[in-house]
Amino acid sequence: MVTVPESAGRTFIELETVADPGDVDAALDVVRSVLRDLGIEDSDLTTQAYTDAVATRRRADQ
């Protein structure tokens, strides 16, 4: 879990797993289950890396 000053109070959780190509759907189901257990809704999700979010914010602040 990462909190960075440029994220304006947002917290990023990077959750990863390793899966064989044929097991990706099942692995994603497990990841989504863990996120739900943490109280994280689908609407909270993003595919943007927090490093990209920080870079975007820094450019906007210049």
Work out how many domains the chain is built from and give that number.
Answer: 1
Check if the beta carbon of residue 2 is closer than 8 Å to that of residue 51. no
| Residue 49 pLDDT | 81
Residue 12 CB neighbour total at 10 angstroms: 16
Domain assignment of residue 45, given as a range: 5-61
Banded model confidence at residue 2, pLDDT cuts 50, 70, 90: low
pLDDT tens for 8-38 read 777 778 888 899 999 999 999 999 999 999 9
pLDDT tens for 41-54 read 989 888 888 788 78
Does the pTM surpass 0.75? The reply is: no
